[in-house]
């Protein structure tokens, strides 16, 4: 089968792309670059999202980002540090005692400080939009069956948690449609019991169906493992976590010896992967029709991390171009290397397979109920 035929891209590839894009944005306050990254995320989501309920969740993340920007600007007006020369909103300042020095309540709002607060909020909003893009593009149920066996139980809990909100919204919509067909026009508080009780009943039915499906597929069942292997798995997992923590500390702290940084971190990662592999051997499961990983998946992951690499190169060449110049206030520069990296991150919108078309009603009758869980005990 040609990889460009309509099919779902591996969910891990979308998460890798989104993480790379979020890492690139994390060190940027230049509004031109932030809006470019936001446009890239919106373009890829619009072009490659499917028809699942969570595919429409990207809009919620955009509203959340807008709310974060407004709250950040409001906090700057109320208690933020006012700096700059151009006063845009003269306000009285509340005098605080000496022990509260450094906290300004109200006071003249200056253009430079307000723009700095807005760009900081915009950076966080774009990072949230990148994670929202991964949630809209990646099917969490398909991501579960791609996890190692040792992480399947944690993945099951995460998937159930992620899918609660879309399923709850779907239940509310069904109940609202049923009320409209019955001619029930009650609104406000009076309509709450008539909506909440059917939604609760539907949620319980879905939970029972999910529990039955998980039990029939062998979730929670493990093979008999020798005590020595169980102890070795625990030692590798715990030792890997401790070594990774020490290695990260060694990398962040410049006063530590060189051997305490990257070498210890690599040892910790190796031990953690060994523990995951040993723990997966105790979880007996098989995967029906595993998701393929072909060149579109590699292209997706590489394009996301290309944006992070481009921003890193731009920072080494001219770090000031990645920020918003506030003192003095000028129009921010446009670093071409960083812009090129963000444009490369938009390639999955054009060079990856289109999502499959939604199934028709006749196909839905022939298809077995999809509870989103894979893994039959071998």
- DSSP per-residue codes, 60-128: HHHHHHHHHHHHHHHHHHHHS---SS-EEE---EE---GGGTT--EE--EEHHHHHHHHHHHHHHHHHH
How many Cβ atoms sit within 10 Å of the Cβ of residue 85? 10
Axis crossing angle, helix 11-25 with helix 336-344, rounded to the nearest 10: 160
Average confidence (pLDDT) over 45-64: 84
Contacts of 160 (CB under 8 A, 6+ apart): 210
171 vs 362: which has the higher pLDDT: 171
Q: Do residues 48 and 303 make contact, with C-beta atoms less than 8 angstroms apart?
A: no
Using 50, 70 and 90 to split pLDDT, how confident is the model at 291? confident
Tell me what the pLDDT averaged over the chain comes to. Answer: 79
Q: Lowest-pLDDT range, 36-40, 64-68, 172-176?
A: 172-176
More confident residue, 343 or 289: 343
Q: For 295-309, what is the mean pLDDT? A: 92
Contact between residue 315 and residue 27 where contact means Cβ atoms under 8 Å apart: yes
Q: Is 223 left (phi over 0), alpha (psi -120 to 50) or beta?
A: beta
Residue 122 has pLDDT above 90, yes or no: yes
**Average pLDDT value for residue range 170-196:** 75
What tokens does 24 get?
A: 């690139």
CA torsion sign for 33, 34, 35, 37 is positive
Query: How confident is the model over 115-131, as a mean pLDDT?
Result: 92
Preceding amide of 122 cis, omega within 30: no
pLDDT of the residue at 306:
93
Pick the more confident residue, 96 or 370: 96
Mean pLDDT of 235-246: 86
Q: What angle do CA 277, 279, 282 make, to 5 degrees?
A: 115
Residue 372 has pLDDT above 60, yes or no: no
Specify the pLDDT at position 42.
93
Residue 2's pLDDT band, with cuts at 50, 70 and 90, is very low
pLDDT score of 363 more than 60: no
The overall pTM is greater than 0.75: no
Cα gap 62→346, rounded to integer Å: 18
Cα separation, 335 vs 96, whole angstroms: 43
């Amino acid at each position: 089968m040609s990889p460009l035929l309509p099919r779902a891209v591996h969910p891990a590839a979308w998460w890798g792309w989104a993480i790379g894009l979020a890492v690139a944005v994390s060190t940027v306050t230049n509004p031109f670059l932030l809006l470019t990254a936001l446009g890239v995320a919106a373009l890829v989501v619009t072009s490659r999202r499917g028809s699942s309920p969570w595919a429409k969740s990207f809009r919620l993340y955009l509203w959340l980002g807008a709310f974060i920007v407004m709250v950040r600007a409001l906090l700057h007006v109320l208690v933020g540090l006012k700096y700059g020369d151009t006063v845009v909103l003269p306000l009285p300042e509340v005098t605080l005692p000496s022990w509260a020095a450094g906290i300004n309540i109200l006071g003249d709002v200056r253009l430079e400080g307000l723009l700095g607060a807005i760009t900081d909020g915009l950076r966080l909003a774009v990072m949230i939009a990148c994670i929202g893009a991964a949630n809209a593009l990646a099917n969490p149920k398909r991501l579960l069956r791609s996890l190692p066996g040792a992480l399947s139980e944690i993945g099951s809990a995460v998937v159930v948690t992620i899918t609660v909100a879309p399923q709850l919204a779907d239940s509310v919509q069904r109940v609202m449609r049923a009320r409209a067909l019955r001619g029930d026009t009650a609104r406000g508080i009076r309509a709450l019991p008539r909506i909440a009780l059917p939604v609760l009943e539907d949620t319980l039915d879905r939970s029972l169906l999910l529990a039955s499906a998980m039990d029939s597929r062998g979730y929670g069942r493990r093979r008999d493992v020798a005590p020595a292997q169980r102890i070795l798995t625990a030692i590798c997992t715990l030792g890997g976590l401790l070594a990774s923590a020490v290695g990260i500390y060694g990398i962040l702290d410049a006063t530590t010896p060189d051997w305490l940084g990257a070498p210890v971190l690599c040892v910790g990662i190796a031990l953690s992967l060994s523990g995951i592999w040993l723990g997966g051997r105790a979880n007996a499961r098989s995967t029906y029709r595993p998701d393929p990983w072909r060149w579109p998946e590699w292209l997706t992951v590489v394009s996301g991390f290309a944006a992070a690499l481009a921003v890193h190169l731009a920072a080494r060449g001219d770090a000031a171009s990645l920020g918003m110049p506030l003192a003095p206030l000028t129009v921010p520069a446009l670093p071409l290397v960083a812009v090129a990296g963000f444009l490369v991150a938009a390639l999955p919108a054009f060079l990856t397979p289109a999502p499959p078309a939604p199934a028709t009603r006749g196909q839905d009758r022939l298809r077995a109920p999809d509870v989103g869980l894979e893994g039959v005990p071998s």
